[in-house]
């Protein structure tokens, strides 16, 4: 256990994702209690110039694996490289983001290294030198405390937007190391040939600071225009419940919930969403929840910090107009 705590930084098209900085910040806090260093593992192509950004949030060193085959995430390539580095240097702890990529990578990496993994954690601590993780279970109705045996590394994923970001320290210097690894093309079963992105360039739901979501109460896809207007005004991303996505009103990428995306924004506005348990499981860790629903008995109000009982087609436009005056 010579390398202390590792984080696996996540990048998309050469840009570091916010969860990478959250991981660096949390790893720094944990490492300070252990008296150990923090190392960030950064995979990509022509990505080395991004290493200093991780140092500002707490990484002591950044181990960079730079290869054209790592430009876009594929499970086989990333697991192969990270497993080689972990087996050679034996970190005590490895933290990843609980994103789509992080959940896929962590499970495969844990299997490759023969250890366990705690998924979608919302709190970490160190007890007797071991990682202790807290994670929601039973669709968020309870929390489990996960401890580890003597096996290393201890792997866990952190729910995005839950862990506090450190203030970036521009004066911090970071050691950048070129990773030593090998990649056998014959072992790479998949290859990304094209990445197709939605127009608009909106912030991904898992990283959004504010989300305005619509449910079955929106009545139809065209009615989401009022949510789009509100979202544009407050720099939010639009989400949707599973029933909306199943009805074809919004794409699956917009779905919030147990079978969609798990989100933790600072502000979550639920419009016409009753609050089914699978939806609550995906957004219950939001910092502030506002519910707008005409049914005063809707389960969403049990989770909401603020509730408005009323017709969303009257409340949302009125809210938008009021915000225009304030903003």
pLDDT tens digits, one per residue of 152-165: 999 999 999 899 99
Q: What local confidence, expressed as pLDDT, does residue 3 receive?
A: 60
Report whether pLDDT(211) > 80: yes
Question: Cα(23)–Cα(44) distance, rounded to whole angstroms?
Answer: 18
- Pick 286 or 193 by higher pLDDT: 286
Q: What local confidence, expressed as pLDDT, does residue 217 receive?
A: 96
Question: Cα(295)–Cα(193) distance, rounded to whole angstroms?
Answer: 48
**Is residue 196 in a domain?**
no
pLDDT tens per residue across span 264-301: 999 999 999 999 999 999 999 999 999 999 999 999 99
H-run or E-run covering 30: helix 18-34
pLDDT band at 22 (very low <50, low <70, confident <90, very high): very high
**Is residue 194 in a domain?**
no
Q: How many domains does the chain have?
A: 2
Q: What local confidence, expressed as pLDDT, does residue 201 receive?
A: 62
H-run or E-run covering 24: helix 18-34
Strand pairing category for 130-137 and 142-147: antiparallel
pLDDT tens per residue across span 28-82: 999 999 999 999 999 999 999 999 999 999 999 999 999 999 999 999 999 999 9
Strand pairing category for 123-127 and 130-137: antiparallel
> Using DSSP, how many helices (H) and how many strands (E) does the chain show?
9, 17
Give yes or no: residues 91 and 236 share one domain.
no
Cβ 160 vs Cβ 98: under 8 Å: yes
Q: pTM value?
A: 0.87
**Is residue 197 in a domain?**
no
Give yes or no: residues 64 and 108 share one domain.
yes
Give yes or no: residues 142 and 255 share one domain.
no
| Cα 252 off chain centre by | 17
Q: What local confidence, expressed as pLDDT, does residue 187 receive?
A: 83
Q: Which residues pair with 176 in a beta bridge?
A: 62
HEC letters along 188-202: CCCCCCCCCCCCCCC
pLDDT band at 200 (very low <50, low <70, confident <90, very high): low
User: Percent of the chain scored above 70 by pLDDT?
Assistant: 98
pLDDT band at 244 (very low <50, low <70, confident <90, very high): very high
pLDDT band at 1 (very low <50, low <70, confident <90, very high): very low
Q: What is the residue whose two structure tokens read 């898992």?
A: 206
H-run or E-run covering 211: strand 210-214
Q: What is the DSSP letter of 63?
A: E
Q: Which residues pair with 177 in a beta bridge?
A: 63
Q: % helix / strand / coil in the chain, to the nearest 5?
A: 35, 25, 40
Give the number of other Cβ atoms within 10 Å of residue 13's Cβ: 9
Give yes or no: residues 245 and 322 share one domain.
yes
Give yes or no: residues 231 and 118 share one domain.
no
Question: Cα(128)–Cα(280) distance, rounded to whole angstroms?
Answer: 34
Q: What local confidence, expressed as pLDDT, does residue 309 receive?
A: 97
Report whether pLDDT(202) > 80: no
**Is residue 195 in a domain?**
no
Report whether pLDDT(150) > 90: no
Question: Cα(106)–Cα(104) distance, rounded to whole angstroms?
Answer: 6
Dihedral pair phi/psi, residue 314, rounded to 5°: -100, -40
Domain hosting 292: range is 205-326
* CATH code, domain carrying 61: 3.40.50.620
Query: Domain boundary at 141, 157, 187, which?
Result: 187
Give yes or no: residues 175 and 212 share one domain.
no
Question: Cα(211)–Cα(286) distance, rounded to whole angstroms?
Answer: 10
Give yes or no: residues 213 and 245 share one domain.
yes
Window from 67-81, 169-183, 187-201 with minimum mean pLDDT: 187-201
**How open is the CA angle 157-149-136, to the nearest 5 degrees?**
35
Q: What is the DSSP letter of 60?
A: S
**Is residue 199 in a domain?**
no
Query: Domain boundary at 124, 156, 187, which?
Result: 187
Give yes or no: residues 177 and 212 share one domain.
no
């Amino acid at each position: 256990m010579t390398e202390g705590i590792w984080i696996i930084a996540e990048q998309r098209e050469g840009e570091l994702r916010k969860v990478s900085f959250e991981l660096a910040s949390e790893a720094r806090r944990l490492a300070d209690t252990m008296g150990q260093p923090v190392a960030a593992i950064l995979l990509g192509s022509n990505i080395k110039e991004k290493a200093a950004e991780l140092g500002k949030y707490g990484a002591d060193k950044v181990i960079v694996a730079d290869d054209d085959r790592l430009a876009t995430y594929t499970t086989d390539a990333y697991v192969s490289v990270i497993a080689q580095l972990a087996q050679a240097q034996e970190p005590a702890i490895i933290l990843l983001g609980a994103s789509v990529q992080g959940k896929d990578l962590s499970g495969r990496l844990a299997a490759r290294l023969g250890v366990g993994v705690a998924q979608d954690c919302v709190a970490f601590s160190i007890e007797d030198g071991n990682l202790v993780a807290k994670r929601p279970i039973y669709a968020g109705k309870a929390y489990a405390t996960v401890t580890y045996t003597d096996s290393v590394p201890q792997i866990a994923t952190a729910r995005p937007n839950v862990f506090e970001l450190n203030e970036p320290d521009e004066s911090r210097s970071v050691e950048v190391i070129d990773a030593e690894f090998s990649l056998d093309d014959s072992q790479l079963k998949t290859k990304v040939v094209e990445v197709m992105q939605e127009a608009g360039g909106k912030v991904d739901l898992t990283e959004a600071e504010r989300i305005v979501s619509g449910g079955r109460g929106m009545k139809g896809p065209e009615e989401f225009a009022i949510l789009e207007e509100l979202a544009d005004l407050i720099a939010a991303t639009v989400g949707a419940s599973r029933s909306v996505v199943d009805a074809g009103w919004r794409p699956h990428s917009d779905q919030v919930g147990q079978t969609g995306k798990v989100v933790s924004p600072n502000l979550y506005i639920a419009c016409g969403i009753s609050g089914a348990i699978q939806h609550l499981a995906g957004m219950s860790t939001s910092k502030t929840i506002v519910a707008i629903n005409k049914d005063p008995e809707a389960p969403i109000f049990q989770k909401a910090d603020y509730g408005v009982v009323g017709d969303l087609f009257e409340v949302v436009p009125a809210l938008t107009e009021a915000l225009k005056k304030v903003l």
